[in-house]
Structure 1
Amino acid sequence: MDLDAVRTFVAIADAGRFQHAATELSITQQAVSKRVAALERTVGVRLFARTPRGAELTVDGRAFLPHARELLRAEARAFASVRPGHRALRVDVIGRGLAPAALLRDFHRARPDVELDVVTLFDADAAVDAIRSGTVDASFRAVATTGHRLPDDIEVSRAFDEPVQLLTGPAHPLAAARAVTPADLVGHRIWMPGLVPGTEWAAYYDALAAAFGLGIESTGPDFGVEPLLDTIAGSGALATFVGEQTRLVWPAGHDLRRIAVRNPTPVYPHSLVRHRDNRHPALAALRDHLHDAGGSGHSGDTETWTPAWA
């Protein structure tokens, strides 16, 4: 259906005369007549009756009018949904309980006027594809900036570094430690069943294991966070790695311990990935927020480690 013809129909219904509608729409009266005639052919009925008082809606015209108004409202909503500055800023995060989601919550508190649409894609490759296709505006990911060529239209900037912690149950040999070094972890079993080969988080922990001679296991099915915490809580041999800002909730009886890793501190390199040509104004506001936040999640221990590819 020709929405210009629908708009003309509504203008005539409101103004009561073809000439008044023509003036409102800045077109000729002849153009108004042609649009109405075309619309009447489309719907198959007469919409107006000409009278000495002007143009009056027929019975069919009165039935069609509320639907015509809804068509124009739908058109306005459709344009607003994609107009920069009007549609929500769509941002991908690796998980809703992980550090990037927490950063977006901080951004929302600082800028409640910015509408956000938060999504979770599978991995960095999926995120880059979505950014290039326009499905999302930006993504927080750990991406390889060396040894792997990103598309020329993709821009990456380091957002913040998140320290990695050791998580143990109360019976683990390291449970009483306030901090450990990577060397202290050699020979201990670190269980991370969520590591998926080919993903950026698997690449990170593979590099961490290789750099410090650690035994990181990804065997067994991944049933999610709660079963993992249950297993760690009841084990005297297994531990796992978690991000410092990862939100975890467990029963009080689990008595899990989050232990800092230092000298050096492994940090997970979160970067903001975006398209070079994206002009969404809220994206600039997000970048400013990251800059004001300092661009780093770690403090105190200045000796850190991250993979060379990051």
Structure 2
Amino acid sequence: MTHSNKEYNHTMRIDALQAFVAVAELGSFQAAGQRLHLSQPAVSKRLAALETRLGHRLFDRVGRGVGLTEAGRAYLPHARETLAALADGDRALDNLADRVEGTLALAISHHVGLHRMPEVLRAFVARYPHVTPEIEFADSEAACQRVVNGEAELAVITLPVAAHPTLLARTIWHDPLAIYAGIEHPLARRESVTFADLSDYAAVLPPRDSYTYHIIDRALAAEGTTLQTRMTSHYLETLRMLADIGLGWTVLPRAMPHALVPLALPSLDMHRELGVMRHPQRNPSNAARALLAMLEAAAASPD
């Protein structure tokens, strides 16, 4: 095989991996084609070539939908890691120029994006006008996975309570939490509230698999409170609204503006850490390094 043929085959394999990951994530050949700016037949052709090369069918095609086969599920993390390694190599070469430019893929949780990042990002885009931030708003858990997959360089989120198995965390903001209820809620009209009282009423809280729920559950379980969760949402603004209309008490950051009634529980010390997650084995771009430096400066400044 000539050098040019080897180069061609490597290029085709990378293109096929990109098509495979896109279809796996989007569940559609058509949507994958739109992401990659390809026709649907072109995506199908690249996947067929990859399946032939691997000797395994990667997708089950049922009607208009597609789902990963067992082989596809086994191969997906390796495909993502390969694409992430290629992007890492490109960043290492780009960094040699010592310029802060290009795209910067970020995954930001909704609350952090609304209440903590605007000032940082405003200063960042003013200082580095040749950087194009590509921001995806995601739940903290999904944002971490985007960094693991190589789809984002940094995640700025609610940090997990336990150390992440792959990523490094850096706390930027300390975020005290408190318990609140709408003004018409029975607990809001009491002069004093106990932890046992909380068990008697439904709550509106983040989903059970979220980092914030784990913080709430651990803090209240230590006080003997049994949670009765009526509704859940990752969006704290939604929880604020649900509490305001009387569907349950809730837990919100003390710094978050609202018209709810705080329930005084002096012995409760409940807080979460907000910060940035990055992959320790990948080269951050110059743009990512610049944003990390600005986040470090924010961490050093008083709230």
Structure 1 Cα separation of the partners of residues 301 and 223 of structure 2: 23
1:133 aligned partner: 149
Could you state the TM-score of these two structures normalised by the residue count of structure 1? 0.52
Shift of the 290–194 alpha-carbon distance from structure 1 to 2, 3 Å rule, reads same
String of CA shifts for 1:13-69, please: whole Å, max 9, x gaps.
Answer: xxxxxxxxxxxxxxxxxxxxxxxxxxxxxxxxxxxxxxxxxxxxxxxxxxxxxxxxx
1:199 aligns with 2:206: no
Summarize the alignment of residues 6-155 of structure 1 with structure 2, pairs less than 5 Å apart: 85-95=100-110, 98-111=111-124, 112-114=126-128, 115-124=132-141, 126-139=142-155, 140-146=157-163, 150-151=165-166, 154-155=167-168
Count of aligned pairs between the two proteins: 203
Shift of the 227–281 alpha-carbon distance from structure 1 to 2, 3 Å rule, reads closer
Structure 2 Cα separation of the partners of residues 274 and 223 of structure 1: 22
1:240 to 246, 250, 254: 250
String of CA shifts for 1:163-183, please: whole Å, max 9, x gaps.
Answer: 1122222234554799x8xx8
Structure 1 Cα separation of the partners of residues 223 and 302 of structure 2: 22
Shift of 1:280: 1.6
2:277 aligned partner: 273
Structure 1 Cα separation of the partners of residues 264 and 289 of structure 2: 34
* Paired residues of 1:107 and 1:289 also in contact (CA < 8 A): yes
Shift of 1:123: 4.3
Shift of 1:226: 7.1
Shift of 1:274: 0.4
Give the 3-state SS of the residue equivalent to 1:89 in structure 2.
strand
Shift of the 156–295 alpha-carbon distance from structure 1 to 2, 3 Å rule, reads same
Shift of the 99–258 alpha-carbon distance from structure 1 to 2, 3 Å rule, reads farther
* Paired residues of 1:163 and 1:297 also in contact (CA < 8 A): no
Shift of the 216–226 alpha-carbon distance from structure 1 to 2, 3 Å rule, reads same
Give the 3-state SS of the residue equivalent to 2:230 in structure 1.
coil
String of CA shifts for 1:83-113, please: whole Å, max 9, x gaps.
Answer: 5632232221221xx1354322111232223
2:183 to 156, 165, 170: 170
String of CA shifts for 1:133-183, please: whole Å, max 9, x gaps.
Answer: 32111112322445xx612xx2222222201122222234554799x8xx8
Could you state the TM-score of these two structures normalised by the residue count of structure 2? 0.53
Summarize the alignment of residues 253-272 of structure 1 with structure 2, pairs less than 5 Å apart: 256-258=260-262, 262-272=266-276
> What is the percent sequence identity of the aligned residues?
15
Structure 2 Cα separation of the partners of residues 223 and 200 of structure 1: 10
Larger Rg: 1
Amino acid at match of 1:241: V
Amino acid at match of 2:109: I
Greater helix proportion: 2
* Paired residues of 2:203 and 2:248 also in contact (CA < 8 A): no
Structure 2 Cα separation of the partners of residues 227 and 293 of structure 1: 27
2:297 to 282, 292, 301: 292
CA RMSD of aligned residues (A): 3.9
String of CA shifts for 1:107-131, please: whole Å, max 9, x gaps.
Answer: 123222344332123442x333321
* Paired residues of 2:108 and 2:135 also in contact (CA < 8 A): yes
Structure 2 Cα separation of the partners of residues 289 and 145 of structure 1: 25
Structure 2 Cα separation of the partners of residues 247 and 203 of structure 1: 23
Give the 3-state SS of the residue equivalent to 2:151 in structure 1.
coil
